[in-house]
A and B are shown apart, each in its own frame.
Chain A
Amino acid sequence: MKFVDLDRVSLRYGEDADGTLALHGATLRVATGEFVAVVGPSGCGKSTLMKVVTGLWPPTAGAVIVSGRKVTGPLSIAGMAFQNPTLLPWRTTLANVMLPLEIVQPHCSRLRREWAAYLAKARDLLALVGLKGFEDHFPWQLSGGMQQRASLCRALIHDPSLLMLDEPFASLDMFTREELWLALQDLWLAREPTVILVTHDLREAVFLADRVLVMSARPGRIIAEREVTLPRPRNLDGTYEPYSVALVHELREHISAARSTAA
């Protein structure tokens, strides 16, 4: 079953012809519970793709269908995390993680009545990503990696059926990044949301995703896709095994090709 279905979607920023054409004829299908990674040369419209899927930007042409319904405005079923953790500095880690519960139905109206249950849920989620004991710290008291973990928890607290990750680990060092890959894999295996992960990191894409899509240079569209058939749960050593290495190499070539056609 297709959960996300983009059919020949184009998006041009601005209203006149000289506005940037970010997407042109992007076609993308993601099945329910699938983990898809989108890679591509920088500036190819990956982030635009995220905004179109979540309904934050209406496409200029083409249709976006999520969960069987045409997207006309912001979805309320999506959880998002960005390269920048964007935690609210006036809230503690716990309060930051619980923010979506104050907005999304049905949690919003139940929150006060079932406060204890929700609190426990948020604490469990934080513990799962290794933030036990930091619930009452403020974001600026956390390291970059810890902030990003909290941001992931915030994206997941309301059990979204669609998780949109826009280069969530790009600003982290390699070791923290790998740790978070494992954390994300655990979260995904436990809850099986549909995930679209935008990334520059091909190893990350191959490690995490069921399917990797390659985007062309701007205006972006999908020019190649590869299934990743590695069994789950995957481990980090696997990323250095011949299968993964060959896959990374192949994706790399697609991207170099996309870049050279652009130049």
Chain B
Amino acid sequence: MVTADMLDDTPPLRPRKPYLLRRKALRHILPWMVIIGIFVIWEIVVRVFEIEQFVLPAPSAIFASGWEWREPILVNAWQTFMTTVIGFLLAVIVGLLAGIAVGSSSLMYDSFYPALIGFNSIPKVAVVPILVIWFGVGTIPAIITAFLIAFFPILVNVAVGIATVEPELQDVLRALGASRWQVIRKVGLPRSMPYFFASLKVAITFAFVGTIVAETVAANKGIGNLMLVASSRFEVPLAFAGLLVTSVMGIAMYLVCAAAERRMTGWAMRGADAPQAAQG
């Protein structure tokens, strides 16, 4: 039998692995390796099969073209970025408020949901010409398209998060005499926050899609317009450079949303590195 005083004072620590083999380090490096890997394979495929540049340009040609046209790319990227961010922020505000309204009562949920599904089934590209009739060619149709495409996932997620609060949790609060609004504020909203932030990550990428689609159809500025002009001039590497810049912006905004998510809803993501205390 082993008694407590036969043991060492402190339980042994797990030996640390060298930096590059540690899980955390690996997690930071792997995404970069995947991206570089894609470019390398792409470059090899283009060179080996001698694919024409106007069909599929090699990454080297795309980067060269991107550097050559850096000024118009930056100007147009900034335009696209601002359009997307404004549309996205509108979507966040409207989606959050409408989500609370729809999720807070099952009557609202049941009445509005079919209409919302119907609305979301409309391809937003089809709406752009109508927006052009209303607002003319320019930034506003692009903002509205980004907004229209991005607000739905936010609304649905917030509504679901609030509508699916455990009945027992509601009972605890209602038995204390809490009003409906108090139940939403104390339980529904915090509970829907992980859903909300998860939806932001989807919504921001959607917003970029909306902006670029609208810019391609009806704008004289922005990455969408730049790509349209580039491909009409058979400057295919430049069109691809536009795509690349868009994905970089998409990733950047995604990371911003993901960081906000981690900060605000860390409680919902108890990963392996969270301190695990007291079992028993």
Tell me the A residues contacting B by CB distance below 8 Å.
51, 54-56, 74-76, 78-80, 82, 84, 86, 88-90, 99-100, 102-104, 134, 137-138, 140-143, 146, 154, 158, 164
Complex Cα gap A90–B173 (Å): 16
Shortest CB distance A99–B (Å) = 7
Which B98-134 residues have a C-beta within 8 angstroms of A? none
Selected contact of B177 from candidates A75, A84, A137, CB within 8 Å? A75
Contacting pair B169 A142 (CB below 8 A): no
Interface presence of B275 (CB below 8 A): yes
B270 nearest in chain A by CB position: A140
- Is the Cβ of A141 less than 8 Å from the Cβ of B174? no
Residues of B within 8 A of A80 (CB): 171-172, 175
Task: Please tell me if the beta carbons of A84 and B175 are within 8 angstroms of each other in the complex.
Answer: no
| A111-B22 Cα distance, complex, nearest whole Å | 47
Would you list the 5 A-B pairs with minimal beta carbon distance, nearest first?
A76-B177, A90-B267, A141-B277, A74-B174, A103-B178
B residues at A contact (CB < 8 Å): 166, 168-169, 171-178, 182, 186-187, 190-191, 193, 265, 267-268, 270, 275-280
Q: A141-B277, A142-B278 are in contact. Are A88 and B190 (CB under 8 A)?
A: yes
Is the pair B186, A86 in contact by a Cβ cutoff of 8 Å?
no
> From A158, which residue of chain B is reached at the shortest CB distance?
B176
- Closest B-chain residue to A87, C-beta based? B169
Task: For A141, list chain B residues within 8 Å (CB).
Answer: 275-278
Q: A103-B178, A104-B177 are in contact. List 14 more A-B contacts (CB 8 A).
A: A74-B174, A79-B175, A82-B171, A84-B166, A88-B169, A103-B173, A103-B176, A103-B186, A104-B176, A134-B277, A134-B278, A143-B278, A143-B279, A158-B176
A-B contact pairs, 20 of them (CB 8 A): A51-B171, A54-B171, A54-B175, A74-B174, A75-B177, A76-B176, A79-B175, A80-B172, A80-B175, A86-B169, A88-B187, A90-B193, A99-B173, A99-B186, A102-B186, A141-B275, A141-B277, A142-B278, A143-B279, A154-B172
Chief secondary structure at chain A's binding surface: loop
CA–CA, A99 to B185, complex, Å? Answer: 12
Decide: B174 and A84 in contact? CB cutoff 8 A.
no
Contact of B267 among A75, A76, A89 (CB under 8 A): A89
Could you tell me if B267 and A138 are in contact, using CB atoms closer than 8 angstroms?
yes
Give min CB distance, B262 to chain A, whole Å: 14
Q: Give the nearest-CB partner of B264 in chain A.
A: A90
Closest to A73 in B: B177
B278 close to A137 (CB less than 8 A): yes
- In contact, B278 and A86 (Cβ under 8 angstroms): no
Contact (Cβ within 8 A) B268 A90: yes
Q: Which of A84, A141, A154 is the most central at the interface, judged by chain B CB atoms within 10 Å of its CB?
A: A141
Q: Which residues of B contact A102 (CB under 8 A)?
A: 186
For A82, what are the chain B residues with a Cβ–Cβ distance below 8 Å? 168, 171-172
A103 in contact with B280 (CB, 8 Å): no
Q: How far is the CB of A72 from chain B (nearest CB, A)?
A: 12
